[in-house]
Structure 1
Amino acid sequence: MSTTIAERARELSAAREPFVHATVVRAQEPTSARPGDDAVILPDGSIEGFVGGACAESSVRAAALDTLRDGDTLLLRVLPDGTDTFPDTPGARVVVNPCHSGGAVEIFLRPMLPAAVLGVAGNTPISAAVATLARFLDFEVVEAGDYYGATAVVVAGLGKGEPEAIRAALDAGVGHVALVASRTRAAALLDELTLTDDERARVHAPAGLAIGARTSSEIALAIMADVVRAVRCDDLRPPAGAPVVRPRQAVDPVCGMTVTVGPDTPHARVDGEDHWFCCPGCLARFTGG
């Protein structure tokens, strides 16, 4: 990673901003990119750095936005029209570069998503074990009462501060609140809170999967297994904040490439219909200019 891009990546990570790190891993002349060139792509489609010319950049932008949505890494292979220079690679996506300059390039796209946040309420051996295991699982652990942005909250006060912690988590919009309590005590506590049906559905009590856990570490394992299951199987997400504005995309009518529409995207309005292009060459071919 180049120094400038590395510094930018650290800034984005510290601010918990999602981005994609793109690195050129292989290039064939006459492409302008070279192995080691890299860039970051932000959720609005903007690219900081260099991974190729205008045509390659359009393909990188579209593919990077896809990786931000699904969280999977991707090897993007951009080839000149009518060629298959690079051998097939499992897990790679191939796009055609219609630019006359030619050249082939492979770019590795790695989405960098903020770590999931887990709130832990309580000062008990169970809460300590949950926090330790959560950090091992790459969660960011918050042990204070501000749970905005948390994916899940574990309430393990064992009788101390539980109503306040549950209320704070629900008010913050947390979708998975795990209460460490017996079934009987949990039912009595939740009845006292007079929760709505939606709020009650978000509270999981007793907390964790039923694995016969006894020790604090085993209980933590059961709780975190249920949180991971909710994230991976039920698509549990942190509370929605400001809506994410996805950049508009269009298909180049000449080469069929998906392009991200921005102020600098080549554009033509013909017979009352707007068209966007990957490069000035496709625009000229379409308009006969």
Structure 2
Amino acid sequence: MTGEQTLFATLQRLQDAAVPCALVTVVRCETPTSARPGQKAVVTAEGIEAGWIGGGCAQPAVLRTVAEALEDGQPQLIRVSPRREQGAVEGLRDFHTGCASGGTLDLFVDPVLPAPALRVYGASPAARHLAVTAAGVGFAVQAVAPDTTAEAFAGAVRHADDWRAGEDWPAPRFAVVATQGRGDRPALEAALASGAERIGFIASRRKFARLREQLAERGHHAARLDAIKAPAGLDLGARTPEEIAITVLAELIAWRRGGAVDSGQAPAVPQPAATPGARAGASSAGCCGGG
């Protein structure tokens, strides 16, 4: 395997594992440097995974910039040089280094962020429509629904036919429970244990209030329960499963982008160190109203 093949195989492996990384490219050099224009490296928050972009003098600046780019998603152009520039160059961030070689490197740091994972629990019509529409706007959809097949969830990249997700699945950033009265409580417990930042529950406030009491009695932390928003979705007067799925997707986009849309409850909260595992049990009966 050539160096370029290794580079892009590494990039693909990290993407498949949902590991954020950056592709760093040498765009300009002033000799003496060990790197050459066009050379690339795949870099994670932990360090260089593959490729070559120069010696040790450049690496601290690269690692610092990669960490920032992975945080805000913005690419950066940086210069690593032993000389302090007299005037700032627009769009170029200057790093002064005490490297004895005397060379200068300009590098482009391009973050490669995985699609945010969305775990959808349930096989209701709204769940199936959400799987399709969310995949269409860049979410990596994981479908979790007992007694179903992957074919029922067009757009999903992963599927489980019970409430347990695969051990090798990337943790979801968000989760939506759309069970429509079939497995509400076990699905909510699975969503709580998943580590999702926010959880949408397609159900009425009254229904969730009752379930919240049950979940608290079963040992789930109040701070974690605050991550659940019910009813899920923006209040657009939706009635059909297709419309409800769209309102939930709109809210997910607002959560993803950090928008200022007032979507009610469920601010982002940290997950406690230990969350009780879901125990088997029948869900509460009743319809899951979307309003």
**Same fold? TM cut 0.5:** yes
Could you tell me which of 186, 189, 195 is aligned with 1:173? 195
Corresponding position of 2:7:
5
Which whole-Å CA distance do the structure 2 matches of 1:94 and 1:26 have between them? Answer: 14
- Matched position secondary structure for 2:235: coil
| d(CA) in 2 for partners of 1:50, 1:162 | 51
1:209 matched to 2:234? The reply is: yes
- Report the Cα offset of residue 81 of structure 1: 0.5
Residue 255 of structure 1: aligned partner: none
Q: In structure 2, do the counterparts of structure 1 residues 237 and 118 end up closer, same or farther at CA, with 3 Å as the change threshold?
A: farther
- The structure-2 alpha-carbon separation of the partners of 1:7 and 1:171, relative to structure 1 and needing over 3 Å to count, comes to closer
Report what 2:164 is aligned to: 146
2:222 pairs with 194, 197, 202, which one?
A: 197
Name 1:219's counterpart in structure 2: 244
Q: Aligned partner of 1:160: which letter?
A: R
Q: CA 1:240 to 1:62, structure 2 compared with 1: closer, same or farther past 3 Å?
A: farther
Q: How many angstroms apart in 2 are the aligned matches of 1:239 and 1:140?
A: 21
| Paired residues of 1:172 and 1:239 also in contact (CA < 8 A) | no
Contact kept in structure 1, 2:192 and 2:224, CA below 8 Å = yes
Query: Is the CA contact (8 Å cut-off) linking 2:177 and 2:191 kept in structure 1?
Result: no
Match of 2:206 among 168, 184, 199: 184
Distance 1:29 1:35 in 2: 11
The residue type paired with residue 157 of structure 1 is T
Letter in 2 for 1:28: E
1:99 equivalent in alignment to 2:99: yes
Alignment of structure 1 residues 1-289 onto 2, 5 Å: 2-46=4-48, 48-83=50-85, 88-90=89-91, 92-144=92-144, 145-146=163-164, 149-194=171-216, 196-233=221-258, 236=268
Question: What residue ranges of structure 1 are gaps of 5+ in the alignment?
Answer: 242-289
Greater shift in the superposed pair: 142-151 or 154-163: 142-151
Q: Is the 8 A contact 1:76 1:108 kept in 2?
A: yes
Deviation at 1:16, TM superposition (A): 2.5
Q: Secondary structure at the match of 1:36?
A: coil
Q: What CA distance in whole angstroms lies between the structure 2 residues aligned with 1:230 and 1:30?
A: 47
What percentage of aligned pairs have identical amino acids?
A: 33
CA distance in 2, matches of 1:239, 1:108: 35
Question: Cα 1:202–1:108, aligned 2, differ >3 Å: closer, same or farther?
Answer: same
SS of residue paired to 1:54 = coil
Based on CA coordinates, which of the two structures has the bigger radius of gyration? 1
One-letter amino acid of the structure 2 residue matched with residue 209 of structure 1? L
TM-score of the superposition, structure 2-length normalised? 0.71
Deviations 1:14-58 (CA, angstroms, capped at 9, x unpaired) = 223332221112223333322210112232234532112332233
The alignment partner of 2:200 has SS state of: strand
* Distance (Å, rounded) in 1 between the aligned partners of 2:90 and 2:269: 32
Q: CA deviation at 1:77?
A: 1.8
Q: How far apart are the structure 2 equivalents of 1:237 and 1:77?
A: 38
Q: Say if 2:24 and 2:43, in contact at 8 Å, map to a contact too.
A: yes
Distance 1:7 1:84, change over 3 A: farther
**Higher mean C-alpha displacement, 6-15 vs 53-62:** 53-62
How far did residue 68 of structure 1 move?
A: 2.8
| Cα displacement (A) at 1:165 | 0.4
* Rounded Cα–Cα distance in structure 1 between residues aligned with 2:269 and 2:75: 20
Q: How many residues matched?
A: 239
- Counterpart of 1:172, as a letter, is S
Q: What is residue 159 of structure 2 aligned with on the other side?
A: none
Specify the SS of the correspondent of 1:221: helix
Q: Which runs of 5+ in 2 are unaligned?
A: 145-162, 260-266, 274-291
| Cα distance in 2 for residues equivalent to 1:124 and 1:116 | 22
Distance 2:249 2:65 in 1: 32
Task: Report how far residue 110 of structure 1 moved.
Answer: 1.9
Q: 1:238 to 1:6 in 2, by over 3 A?
A: farther
